[in-house]
Amino acid sequence: MKTAEQYKKLTICEFTKAAEIYETDHAGIYEMCKDDYPYIESELSRIEYQDLLDCGCGTGPMISLLHEKDSTKHYVGLDLTPRMIEVAEAKNLLGVEWVVGDCDNAGFNVEKLEAARKFRMHLVAKK
């Protein structure tokens, strides 16, 4: 049985390969996740928040979508895979922080955030 660290290394390896095609029609995981975006947007529209943390943000498609609708909010995209964050950073979205890190040990105080939603990706919003 693999350890958590071994799974993280495997994840980084696989998603490094996928980073270039992550937001295309050739990336199965993105295709699966983007079907959830309207639901996620709907849920987030029900709460007031100023800060949003996207754990496992990949190349940042969800943050890009939310930023396009409201660029006044503070968005943080967190992903384990450095190449995913590099691709996200290339989008040059003002007011967005991109962080390479482990969602389990990133040091964010989720208890202080206004709302936490778990989807295929993890979003946390704070007033």
CATH number of 12's domain: 3.40.50.150
% the chain with pLDDT above 90? 25
Q: Are 79 and 61 in contact (CB under 8 A)?
A: no
CA 30 vs CA 9, 72, 75, 111, 117: distances in Å = 20, 26, 20, 28, 19
Q: What is the distance, to the nearest Å, from the Cα of residue 88 to the centroid of all Cα atoms in its chain? A: 10
**pLDDT digit string, tens, across residues 21-43:** 776 655 555 566 677 778 888 88
Total domains in the fold of the chain: 1
Q: What residues make up the domain containing 14?
A: 4-126
The per-residue pLDDT for 49 is: 83
Whole-angstrom distance, CA of residue 10 vs CA of residue 58: 15
How would residue 123 be classed by pLDDT, with cut points 50, 70 and 90? low
The per-residue pLDDT for 117 is: 44
Burial class (CB in 10 A: 0-12, 13-18, 19+), 107: exposed
